[in-house]
Chain A
Amino acid sequence: MSAADCEQQGTGWGILEDLPGDPMIWVLIFSELVAFGLFLGTFVVARAIHPAMFAAGQATLNSTLAGLNTLVLVTSGWAAARATKAARAREPRTTRRWLLIAMALGGFFIAIKLAEYAEEIGRGVGLETSPFFTLYFLLTGFHLLHVGLGIVILAVVCRRAEVSGVETGAAFWHMVDLVWIAMFPILYLVR
């Protein structure tokens, strides 16, 4: 097949080309969804095996701060979606403004989560307190790392504010949002 044939048939990503942004980010997104799904599934099974221990651990969590973080993250997702819309309209200044709002709210999410950790660690709770807290810290910590990585990606695409880059960064950011939407009730609310 010649280079011209390849060009005619797209970039070689097949059906992944139908998705917004760089197809490679979707390979990462689907891998991350599988990883978080298995991790959360493990938590669910462990709770079914040790319901009393998990209920006792959950009762000490601050679900108000976690709920506040849900409001912060969905608002940040909205700002990222508005940035994508502005990038498609070729409005780089508006795009950057929305991306900065999304990143600032992401930073606020991290600050709230760290305050929550500080409160828990101050009470003497740690990774080895119980299997509940081991899974709780690993799951939320893994997610928090993705929030930090998402902010870095948004900062990188903010510089040029062109369509493909912004779509790529926003897609990753929405995945981080989606995972939190599932994680919040499973860890903090389901009894």
Chain B
Amino acid sequence: MTMPDRLDVTWIALIGLALATILLPPLMPRPLLGNAVLLALAVIKGRRIALDFMDLRAVPALWRGLVSAWIVILLLFAWLASAVAALI
């Protein structure tokens, strides 16, 4: 039996994070905190996909930065918009 490599570890981590994303919402009655947790989980998943599946770990930082910025800015914007709507 072969030892799991980085790809296997990333897949297991993604499955765990996806299950947490599915199971957590009913346990988090406060939307602001709940949204922050769900979107943070999505950022972690996105980073793992970009670095290990898309193979951006070994390429120049510019490319890693662009893909990471896409997921961080989009999900941060989603959280800020939901926070503003909740506070108004």
- Against B, the Cβ 8 Å flags (1 = close, 0 = not) of A148-191 are 00000000000000000001001100110110011011100111
Q: How many residues of B contact A (CB 8 A)?
A: 46
- A126 on interface, CB distance cutoff 8 Å: no
CA distance A84 to B55 in the complex (A): 10
- B3 on interface, CB distance cutoff 8 Å: no
A81 close to B63 (CB less than 8 A) = no
In the assembled complex, the CB of A166 is this many whole angstroms from the nearest CB of chain B, namely 12
B85 close to A19 (CB less than 8 A) = no
- A144 on interface, CB distance cutoff 8 Å: no
From B22, B42, B85, A182 is in contact (CB under 8 Å) with B42
- A18 on interface, CB distance cutoff 8 Å: yes
B residues less than 8 Å from A186 (CB atoms) = 74-75, 78
B42 close to A74 (CB less than 8 A) = no
CA distance A101 to B74 in the complex (A): 30
A residues less than 8 Å from B35 (CB atoms) = 189-191
